[in-house]
Structure 1
Amino acid sequence: MGQGKGQDAAPDGNGPWRMPDEASPHELTYMSWPSRRIWKTYVHAVREDIARIARTIAEFEPVTLLADERDAKGARRACGSGVEILPVPVDDLWMRDTGPSFVLGPDGVAGVDLNFNGWGGKQPHTRDRHVARRILSDRDVPRVEAPIVGEGGAIEVDGAGTLLATESSLVNANRNPGMSRDGVERALKRLFGVTEVLWVDGVRGKDITDYHIDALARFAAPGVVVMSTPPSASPSPPTSSPPSSSTSAEDVWTKAYRQAREALTAAKDARGKALDLVDLPEPAHIGRRGPDFLASYVNYYVANGAVIMPRFGDKKADAAAAAIVRDLYPGREVTQVPVDALGEGGGGIHCATQQLPKAR
């Protein structure tokens, strides 16, 4: 595998790639500074959220934040000396999707470039389409160009051979026209070193991501999946009986949750084991929010020694969510931060971050 600056690498290199789970040790966290071009009058509020997240993560591990040269000074002032500012042209803040998804191989770290296309052409991405390549070139890390189009928020791995994904996002003509689910699955297995891909339906066309998995279900450990549970949904597993009239009237997100829970209840991971599903209830009282607001606690970020998760202002729900996450990640400090402006943009803390794992 070539190690030259900016050099592409074959997906299988000199041995199999493997994407580690997020709880594995990090070298640093990448983030991105939102542009006025995308956020317009909301840019000040969302920059406050991004700076708050960056400063919080920087208490536990290094943070590198990409920003346009003209915005670098303001980003540095907002984030403080604990955050490195890397002058790189960007459109938006969603580093999970625009940045590389890092994998480990026999020669160290490589970065998978998932060919970001603005979530199926829904948003301008003339700069963000190059972010993954720019990061990898800056660090002299080999680039793996994926044979599919997708985003980092569309995949979730347990580090032990299992990957979670929604069909609505990846098996979609706006990213991968003409590709079957089997074709996408083969690419995912090769790129990320997994042997089992667990699919749930998701939701098409209702949000900019076509329902990324990181807003719905996350691996807390191999065999343990924590799910974002709508307030209206029962925490008990759904049955195979026909839906009642009340269920049929549920919104698309609750229906997607129920379908995912049923599918994952019946699934086995790469080790052939059934999954332990943990419900993480969404807040019931968040005040007036826009239609795209993401009130998902599972969109947290696992940093070195910590879990950074949202606080939505529903004190009872916030405290309950923190307690559940604390039990899922023993020994890690659980820190909650308000991200209201970020949520109005349809994303959260996980969407805004991307970890660079330590090479072993």
Structure 2
Amino acid sequence: MAEFSRRTMFRSSALAVVGGAALLACSPEDGGLLSSGSATPSGPGGAWRMPAESARHARTFMSWPPLDSVWKGQDGLAVQDDIAGIARAIAEFEPVTLLAEPAEADAAQQACGSGVEVIPIATDDLWIRDTGPTFVLGAGGLAGVDLHFNGWGNKQQHRRDAAVAGTLLNRLGLPRVDAPIVGEGGSIEIDGEGTLMATESSLVNANRNPGKSRADIERALQDLFGVSKVIWVKGVAGQDITDYHIDSLARFADPGTVIISQPPEGDDVWVRAYDQAFEVLRNETDAKGRKLEIVQLPEPDPANLGQRGDSFLSSYVNFYVANNAVIMPRFGDRAADDHAKGIVADLHPGRTVVQVEINTVAEGGGGIHCATQQQPAV
């Protein structure tokens, strides 16, 4: 949660090969790759609606970080171990499909085990929440929103990742909803009952949506995800690579209940962002008119984490809600880890809470939610 991480190293790639067919990766401005069918947004409460993450999933998608990525040497092997651990944990509760660079598909399969399906789709990194499609449901079934990933506001070049949403939808034979804005899956949080939360710093930002006002972007979000109310918090621009995604700050535990990540005192930039978000949320109502209940989830004490980089993301709220489970991080501050697990368990009755060590993923400025994307059950 600080300066840019290793993910800010620039790289490029050219070609994805899927099922024997070469698929040229388009630039973010071109909107990526068209799937076998395309669709358009339909307006609030219209044809498309994004369910809450807590709704039933058909499966979870993940992405394997290739060894020719920004993760080099031992870091590359360590982050692959983290991704394999997350995949295995989720696979205990629902199917997991992992996208992997074709040349590394066998290694990924060996690391994840037979309980995880590996498919050969070229990727640049592990952050499928941001690079992959964001799935929505409608009268015609399932579709995927392509938010035109552009390397978090052109901070990095991700030629292969820019094509992941379209490539995956094409492989699945699903309609591609062509978003009129640029963003990432981690920049939105939805309760499934008409309310969406977002940070202005991430979406109302010229590095993604030049010339668009907050009202323009809000209308697009309503159209894309079938919501009637968008709650904006300020966030922080330019301090981390995502410009402070909402999924590291505040999440819906249930409609009407928000769990917010409370940073340790002394980290002034993040404390100010937290204070502003807390003040907004505690005075807000959701789309149903309910006053929001705010639950604070303290982050661990950095002094208890050992030697960590400036970009280490110690946010417990970057968890993933799977079928009958919540998969959340364990950072090594035993008291804080246990306390966080208890809060999350209380807020998700009937779900098993599983903690997974993700220290290398966290060093890259992300977490479990960033590394996963749910496909809703139809």
TM-score bracket, shorter-length normalisation = over 0.9
One-letter amino acid of the structure 1 residue matched with residue 118 of structure 2: I
1:192-203 equivalences under 5 Å are 192-203=225-236
Residue equivalent to 1:32 = 63
Contact 2:35–2:167 (8 Å) recurs in 1: no
Which whole-Å CA distance do the structure 2 matches of 1:292 and 1:336 have between them? 21
1:314-325 equivalences in 2 (<5 Å): 314-325=333-344
- With structure 2 as the length reference, what TM-score do the two structures score? 0.88
Shift of 1:137: 0.9
Q: Kindly tell me: are residues 224 and 350 of structure 1, through their superposed partners in 2, closer, same or farther at Cα, counting changes over 3 Å?
A: same
* Structure 1: distance between partners of 2:47 and 2:35: 21
Answer yes or no: is 1:56 the counterpart of 2:89.
yes
* Among 5, 8, 11, the residue aligned to 2:41: 11
Q: 1:263 maps to what in 2?
A: 280
Contact in 2 for aligned 1:96/1:354 (Cα 8 Å) = yes
* Equivalent position of 2:351 in the other structure: 332
CA distance in 1: counterparts of 2:143 and 2:98, whole angstroms: 19
Query: Structure 2: which 5+ runs fail to align?
Result: 1-33
1:299 to 318, 323, 343: 318
Displacement of 1:251 after TM fit? 1.4
TM-score normalised by length of structure 1: 0.93
CA positional deviation for 1:134: 1.0
**What residue ranges of structure 1 are gaps of 5+ in the alignment?**
233-248
User: Are residue 161 (structure 1) and residue 191 (structure 2) matched?
Assistant: no
Assess if the C-alpha contact under 8 Å between 1:169 and 1:212 holds in 2: yes
CA distance in 1, matches of 2:262, 2:161: 31
Q: How many residues align?
A: 340
Q: Distance in 2 between matches of 1:295 and 1:123?
A: 23
Contact 1:167/1:199 (8 A) holds in 2: yes
Preserved contact between residue 112 and residue 145 of structure 1 (Cα < 8 Å): yes
Structure 2 counterpart of 1:297, one-letter code? Y
Tell me the equivalent position of 2:28.
none
* Inter-partner Cα distance in structure 1 for 2:168 and 2:37: 12
Q: Provide Cα deviations, 1:151-182, integer angstroms capped at 9, x if missing partner.
A: 00000000000000000000000000011000
Paired AA for residue 34 in structure 1: P
Give me the identity figure in percent: 62
Structure 1 position 287, deviation (Å): 1.5
Structure 2 counterpart of 1:236: none
CA separation in 2, counterparts of 1:90 and 1:201? 31
1:22 maps onto 2:53 in alignment: yes
- Taking the aligned partners of 2:121 and 2:47, their CA distance within structure 1 comes to 31
RMSD: 1.3
Distance 1:80 1:5 in 2: 30
Residues 91-102 of structure 1 correspond to what in structure 2 (within 5 A)? 91-102=124-135
Structure 1 partner of 2:26: none
Give the alignment partner of residue 365 of structure 2, picking from 327, 342, 346. Answer: 346
SS at match of 2:274: helix
Q: Shift of residue 16 of structure 1?
A: 2.4
SS in 2 for 1:337: strand
1:205, 1:315 → 2: CA distance? Answer: 31
| Corresponding residue number in structure 1 for 2:24 | none
Runs of 4+ that moved beyond 6 A: none
- Say whether the 8 Å CA contact 1:6–1:133 is kept in structure 2: no
Give the alignment partner of residue 73 of structure 1, picking from 106, 110, 128.
Answer: 106
